[in-house]
Structure 1
C-alpha cells in the first residue's frame, strides 16, 4: 500500500506532528474503546471476486443527492481542525475539492474562508439548546452554498472518552457563529430533546435535503424517512459515543434493507482503504466517508496530505473494482462479500 494511504503510517506521522492532547482527541473512543476496535474489524470481510468480466474500462463515478462525484467517497465532519493544522478546514476543503466535503458545525473556520476553496460540500448540524443560534448557523450555511444538511442524532450527551482531552483555550471553536457564544456556553450545547419532528423543521428552515447521521437500526431508518429525511448515514460517531454499539459494517445491511431503495444510504466508521469502500458499496451503501484518516493526513501534510490520501483511496477503489470484476459501482453487490451470497 502506498505510504499516503497506510493508516498506521498516517497515524504515526500525525502523532509526531501533534501535541499529546490533540492526538489523543483524534485517536480516542468512548469507554473501553470496544466499538472503536470493532469498527475496524467489521470491514475485514473476505471478498469473492468474479473473473472473465470485461474491466477494460472501470468507472468509479456516481452521484450523492444529485451531485456528481468522481468516486463514492467523502470526508466526514470533524470539528476543531485548526487544532491539528494551522489552515484547518480550509486545507481539508482544498485537499478534498474532488470529493464531497462535510463541514462540521464545530468548525474553526468561517464560511467566508471555506466557500472560495471548496468543491461540493454539505454542512453538519446539531440542534443546539438555543434554537435561534441553530437557525442562524443554518441560514449562513445555505447562503454560503451548502447543498445539504447532515443532522447528527447520536449525541444527546457526549460519551465519556477513554482519553479525554479538551481543545486549547483560544481556539476559535465558534467560527460559524461569529460574535456568538462559544461551545462552552450552555446555549451552544446539543439539545437532548431532539426528536423525529426536528427532521422536518431542519428541512423547512433550510430548504435543503436533510441527511440523518448516526443511525444503526432499520426501524430508526424507516422512521427517519417517514419524517422527511432525504438520506440515512450509518454511523456510531467513530466509536466515540456508546461504547459497545454495533460496528457500522455490521449495521449497514439492516439499514439498507429497511430503506429498500427509497433513499441513499451512507456509512462511516473504520473505513481505511479503497477495498473497504468497495465492501461498503457491496453491502448497499451509496458512499463511504472517512474521518480519522483525513485528520491524520491533515496533521501530517496539510492540503497535499489530504489530497494524497483521497487520491490514493480512490485509486485503491478503482483497483478493487477491476479485480472484483466490476466495471461500474452499480456492479458492487452483496455476493462479492463472503457470507452474503444470494
Structure 2
C-alpha cells in the first residue's frame, strides 16, 4: 500500500484573508478559557454584539466610473504620522502568544502605525519602545497621585509619544455565558489543575515551553521602583481601592503629563456629548469614542453610533478616534466617513497574534488596509480624508446622541 503524507495547508500557508479567519484560527489554537477571555463581553453581551452589528446597518454609495488610480490612507493621530487610519488599542496581558506585546509592537512598526501599550501589559514599556514602534502608553486611574506620577515619568523616560487615560472600565464579572477563569499566576501547579482544558492545545503549550516558561500574568509596568511586578489580581485590587477620578483629576493627569513630556494626551471611553465637551475643557488632545469593547456597562450603544454626534460637537477642537467592533476595512472607512480620524483595534489584532504571532498581526493590518483601499476606490476618492457621510447610506435613527 502506498501511503501519501498530506501536509497541513495552514502550516504551508499561514496567511489569512480576513479577520474572521484569524478569529477561527485563534479559536482552534487557544485553550478554551484563553479564547473565552478574548471574546467575552459583560452581562448578556448586548454592547459587544451591537459594536459589530451596527456596521451592517451602514451602507456604501459607490461610483461606477471616475475612480482614482492612486489612493492614500496616510493620516496622523496626536502628531504621529501613520500609514493607515488604524492604530493598536492597548489591551492587558497578551498571553495568547509567547512574544505578546513585543510581537504586536514590531508588527505596528513594520506597518507604519502606532502601538498602544496597556499598563496591564505583560511586557514592559522599555521593551516595547525598544522595538522602534511609536508607542502611546495607557494608564487606568489606579493608585495615588505619587504612584501615577512615577508611572507617567517612567513612560516618558522610555520614550512614549503619548498618554492614553482609560476611564471606562468597571470589569464586570457578570456574563450570561460564564466568565473565563483567570488564574492568579501560571505555574506548574496551575498547569496541572487546568490540564484538561489546555491539553487539547499542545501547540500552544509547546510554543510557551520553547520560549522558556509559562504565560506571564504579571504587570511589569505597575512595578514600583526596584520592586517586583504585581500579578493581575494585585493590580485589579489597586484599581478597586482607588477612588474614581473627577474631571479635576483628569485635568491634573493631563497637565502633569504635558509638563513632564510635552506629549499629547488622549481620554478613552467617551460616549456622551457632555463628557466630550468636558474633555475639551480638561485640555485633552484627543478622545476615543468607546464602550470598552463591550466589556464595561452592557447596554451602552455601539461606538460607531456615537461617533458622528460627538465629532460634530468637538471634532473641530480635538481629535476623535473610535474603537469597538472593527473587523473589516469597510468598517474603518465608515468610521472615518462619520468623523473619526482613525480607529483603534483590539480583538482583531489579538486573534492575529494568537494565530501567527507578529506575522499574524501584520496580516490583520494588511487585511484592513486592503479593505480601506477598496472602499476608497469604490467611493472615487484619492485620500482617506475625502470620505464623508455622503459616501454612506445611513438609516434613520442610526445615531445615538447621549448627553445632549
Specify the TM-score bucket, using the shorter chain as the normaliser: over 0.9
CA distance in 2, matches of 1:112, 1:279: 35
Offset, 1:339:
2.7
The answer for the alignment partner of 1:265 in structure 2 is: 320
Structure 2 partner of 1:324: 379
Partner of 1:177: 222
Deviation digits for residues 86-138 of structure 1, max 9, x if unmatched? 11000111111121110011000012221121421101111113333322221
Structure 2 residue aligned with 1:148: 162
Candidates 177, 182, 188, aligned match of 1:167? 182
Contact 2:93 2:219 (C-alpha < 8 Å) held by counterparts: no
* Alpha-carbon shift at residue 284 of structure 1 (Å): 0.4
Q: Does residue 239 of structure 2 align to residue 194 of structure 1?
A: no
User: Counterpart of 1:68?
Assistant: 81
Task: Decide whether aligned partners of structure 1 residues 190 and 89 sit closer, same or farther in structure 2, where only a CA change above 3 A counts.
Answer: farther
Mapped pair 1:228 → 2:283? yes
Partner of 2:102: 90
**CA distance in structure 1 between the aligned counterparts of 2:19 and 2:370, rounded to whole angstroms:** 15
Output the CA distance in 1 between the equivalents of 2:365 and 2:179: 29
- Cα displacement (A) at 1:257: 1.2
Q: Which runs of 5+ in 1 are unaligned?
A: none
Aligned ranges for residues 41-60 of structure 1 at < 5 Å? 41-44=53-56, 45-60=58-73
Tell me what 2:347 maps to: 292
- For 2:383 and 2:147, locate their aligned partners in 1 and report how far apart those are by CA, in whole Å: 43
Give the structure with the higher percent helix.
2
- Matches of 2:80 and 2:134 in 1, distance apart? 8
Moved more, 207-216 or 187-196: 187-196
Does residue 13 of the first structure (1) align with residue 64 of the second (2)?
no
Shift of 1:18: 1.2
In structure 2, what is the Cα distance between the partners aligned to 1:309 and 1:253?
26
Runs of 4+ in 1 over 6 A off after TM superposition: none
CA displacement 1:33-81 (0-9 Å, x = unmatched): 0111110011111101234435011111111111111011111111111
What value does the CA root-mean-square deviation take over the aligned residues? Answer: 1.9
Q: Decide whether aligned partners of structure 1 residues 131 and 5 sit closer, same or farther in structure 2, where only a CA change above 3 A counts.
A: farther
User: Equivalents in 2 of 1:146, 1:307: separation in Å?
Assistant: 22
| Structure 2 unaligned regions, length at least 5 | 1-13, 187-215, 397-404
Q: In structure 2, do the counterparts of structure 1 residues 278 and 305 end up closer, same or farther at CA, with 3 Å as the change threshold? A: same
Matched residue count: 338
Q: 1:256 aligns with which of 311, 314, 324?
A: 311
Distance 1:317 1:17, change over 3 A: same
Measure, in 1, the Cα distance between the counterparts of 2:82 and 2:241: 31
After superposition, give the CA deviation of every residue in 1:214-264 in whole Å (9 maximum; x if it has no partner).
Answer: 011111101111111111100000001111111111111111112141111
1:92-171 → structure 2 map (5 Å cutoff): 92-97=104-109, 98-155=112-169, 157-162=170-175, 163-168=178-183, 169-170=185-186, 171=216
